[in-house]
Amino acid sequence: MKLSIIVPLFNEADSVIEILNKVVNVSYPSFIESIEIVVVDDCSTDNSFKVVSEYSGSQPRVKVFQHDVNRGKGAAVRTGISNSKGDVFLIQDADSELSPNDIPSMLEAMHQIGVEFVNGSRYLPGISRPLYSYKRYLANKFFTFLTSVVINVRLTDMACGYKLIHKNLYQKLSLFENRFGFEAELLIKALRVKKNNITEVPVQYFPRNRGEGKKLRSMDGARILLTIFKYGLLKLK
């Protein structure tokens, strides 16, 4: 199994190198034949692209691409996958909210269970996590509930950034959402192909607030809701 780790990047100059170092130093399962890390800078306004480009000079497994205009996380993920050679794609956010130490358990789940989609969950038991905004928690649970209903698959964390998808499944999907609705579109369309093709794995979570660089805004919640409506209820392709 060849692994491509896709890192969408926007204004994370202070955290991205720490995350990349952790990704590089993960102890990957023995069935992983090769690893590449594909970073896509979404037209950052800080020096994120510069620091990652310099970093890639000493890390041959790291490839760096850049959008000439800001297009959103979904667009950055699609750019990364289109420039990848892996059999499976893992989405890794460039901030410090999720821990690369959880990557092996996601890979093991895909390998052992035989599914083509593994979703990280910040709510499954088994991992101690710091508490965070109750309003944010309620919003995510609401969106997760709606997504679960429209695809008839019980999920616990639709919006978690950690998603592992096999190339065979990804190639069957037509994805259009550029921004934070991307996660909902990916889940809904992937599970419409085959419902019993997903598992969830508990992951660590270290939440940030707006002052610490949190990107999600209230308006993004409306976009997520619209995405669920379009691809879940209207079943647009």
pTM of the model: 0.92
**What is the average pLDDT across 104-127?**
96
Query: Which phi and psi angles does 35 have, rounded to 5°?
Result: -135, 135
The pLDDT score that the predictor gives to residue 216 is 58
Answer for the pair 224, 136: CB distance below 8 angstroms, yes or no: no
pLDDT of the residue at 106: 98
Strand pairing category for 117-121 and 198-202: parallel
| Cα separations in angstroms, 168 against 32, 40, 87, 89 | 17, 22, 8, 10
65-79, 111-125, 201-215: segment of lowest average pLDDT: 201-215
Which tokens sit at 111? 């390998």
**In this predicted structure, what is the pLDDT of residue 131?**
76
Distance CA 195, CA 9 (A): 31
The pLDDT tens digits of the residues spanning 122-162 come to 999 988 888 778 888 899 999 999 999 999 999 999 999 99
Q: Do β-strands 117-121 and 88-91 pair in parallel, antiparallel, or remain unpaired?
A: unpaired
- Residue 211, pLDDT score: 45
Phi-psi region of 11 (alpha: psi -120 to 50; beta: other; left: phi over 0): left
Phi, psi of 28 (to 5 degrees): -80, 150
How far apart, in whole angstroms, are the C-alpha atoms of residue 162 and residue 203? 8
CB atoms within 10 A of CB 111: 15
Query: pLDDT tens, 24-66?
Result: 999 999 999 999 999 999 999 999 999 999 999 999 999 999 9
CA–CA separation, 4 and 38 (whole Å)? 7
Starting from the edge strand earliest in sequence, which strands make up the sheet with 198-202, in order?
Answer: 62-66, 34-41, 2-9, 88-91, 163-166, 117-121, 198-202
Q: Reduced to 3 states, what is the DSSP secondary structure of residue 2?
A: strand
